[in-house]
Amino acid sequence: MKRSDNKSHCPINFSLETFGDSWSLLIIRDMVYFGKKTYGEFLESDEGISSNILASRLVHLEQRGLIVKKPHDTDKRKEVYLLTEKGLDLIPILLELADWAAKYDSETDAPQSWIAAVNSDRKSMISLIRDTVKDGGSVFSGSNSVVSKLTMT
Amino acid sequence: MKRSDNKSHCPINFSLETFGDSWSLLIIRDMVYFGKKTYGEFLESDEGISSNILASRLVHLEQRGLIVKKPHDTDKRKEVYLLTEKGLDLIPILLELADWAAKYDSETDAPQSWIAAVNSDRKSMISLIRDTVKDGGSVFSGSNSVVSKLTMT
DNA sequence: CTTTTCACTTTTATAATGCAAGTGATATTG
DNA sequence: CAATATCACTTGCATTATAAAAGTGAAAAG
């Protein structure tokens, strides 16, 4: 991954160059859906990202302004990664990707009730997710999750 | 790119494995936005895809059922690639990617009037694009384009 | 004080990509 | 109708990215 490819200013290409590699969106997914915030948490994902790749992607996402890195409040070994406004604006893209996959992957992990909830009131769902994530929560994990607010599984 | 990774059945991951590599979505973009249909047309894109990579991506997209390959009506050297229903269902994703990039790339090629049109009436715009592409047209190119239907530049 | 945990880095093997140059079939041109 | 150009690929090779494993230094835990 080169730092400044800039093959074109086509908006699709711009998005792909910014966060469209195999791993970047999975990191964003972990933040939005599962509330992950630290290097160690990202490493544990089912897809099995290597530590060197994870490190390079976090640098890349930070350079592009999608995430910010902050020292952990109490544990000085840890770093906390958080989404910026620019990163939070990827939520609609994640929802579309999930919607498409839920439709075409017969073995999808996506809960149908969740997909239905998003499709029934997309705009307000986006802002609910946004606010929740901004507040340190996530879609599925933790006490402060979107699904717990909606009382669904 | 391995044929069957299947690292997980997370819907985001499924989408990324199906069409989320650097080039696949650019091919789909060329079909939806510019009405490209042949190998030679895909090769001409600004981003400069290599011929071997293009060939492998077309095979991949066809195997996953996003596109179909047909012999050209009159020229027997040519093959025509068309989007399936499954491929057409990527249109909402393209729109979101473009919307995000239009917001954050100061030098974007995306016409603001187009972005505004999509955002003002998303649902009907999606079906208009869908119908147009199904009919052999595209968003920007050709006489049968979405923008000519909307009479905007 | 010793051992873990944490966020990375380094090393090395393997796989993907990019580039240039084919190839065989069909179409076009003189 | 023979020569040339076009088309959709394929092949070979150099370069780059990725994956896996082990290592590093600082801070926390026991």
DSSP string, A85-113: HHHHTTHHHHHHHHHHHHHH-TT--S-HH
Q: Is the Cβ of B135 closer than 8 Å to some Cβ of chain A?
A: no
Q: How confident is the model at residue B3 (pLDDT cuts 50, 70, 90)?
A: very low
Is residue A138 within 8 Å of A37, Cβ to Cβ? no
* Chain B residues touching A48 at Cβ < 8 A: 7
CATH number of A11-150: 1.10.10.10
Is the pLDDT at B153 greater than 80, yes or no? no
Cβ count near B127 (within 10 Å): 11
**Yes or no, beta carbons of A103 and B96 under 8 Å apart:** no
Q: What is the DSSP letter of B84?
A: -
Instruction: Identify the pLDDT of residue A6.
Output: 77
Is the pLDDT at A2 greater than 50, yes or no? no
Q: What is the mean pLDDT of chain A?
A: 94
* pLDDT more than 70, % of chain B: 95
Q: Is the Cβ of A102 closer than 8 Å to some Cβ of chain B?
A: yes
Measuring from the CA of residue B50 to each C1', which nucleotide is nearest?
C18
Is the pLDDT at B113 greater than 70, yes or no? yes
Measuring from the CA of residue B23 to each C1', which nucleotide is nearest?
C17
* Distance in Å, residue B27 CA to nucleotide D6 C1': 22
* Chain B residues touching A14 at Cβ < 8 A: 101, 104-105, 108
Cβ count near A73 (within 10 Å): 8
Is the pLDDT at A153 greater than 60, yes or no? no
Q: Is the CB of A59 under 7 A from strand D?
A: no
Instruction: Identify the pLDDT of residue B7.
Output: 83
Is the pLDDT at B2 greater than 50, yes or no? no
Which residue in the set B12, B90, B93 is minimally distant from A29, CB to CB? B12
Cβ count near B144 (within 10 Å): 14
Mean pLDDT of A118-124: 96
Measuring from the CA of residue B38 to each C1', which nucleotide is nearest?
D8
Mean pLDDT of B9-24: 96
A92 CB contacts (<8 Å, ≥6 apart)? A126, B96, B99, B100
Q: Given its phi and psi angles, is residue B6 left (phi above 0), alpha (psi -120 to 50 degrees) or beta?
A: left
Closest among B115, B109, B141, B140 to A13, alpha carbons compared = B109
Instruction: Identify the pLDDT of residue A81.
Output: 98
B88 to chain A: nearest residue by CA? A100
* pLDDT more than 90, % of chain B: 93
Q: Is the Cβ of B126 closer than 8 Å to some Cβ of chain A?
A: no
Please write the tens of the pLDDT for every residue from A11-25: 999 999 999 998 999
Q: Is the Cβ of A25 closer than 8 Å to some Cβ of chain B?
A: yes
Q: Is the Cβ of A120 closer than 8 Å to some Cβ of chain B?
A: no
Is residue B36 within 8 Å of B42, Cβ to Cβ? yes
Instruction: Identify the pLDDT of residue A152.
Output: 57
Distance from CA of B57 to the nearest CA of A (A): 15
Please write the tens of the pLDDT for every residue from B81-110: 999 999 999 999 999 999 999 999 999 999
* Chain B residues touching A7 at Cβ < 8 A: 46-48
Please write the tens of the pLDDT for every residue from A33-71: 999 999 999 999 999 999 999 999 999 999 999 999 999
Please write the tens of the pLDDT for every residue from B65-80: 999 999 999 999 999 9
* pLDDT more than 70, % of chain A: 95
Q: Is the Cβ of A2 closer than 8 Å to some Cβ of chain B?
A: no
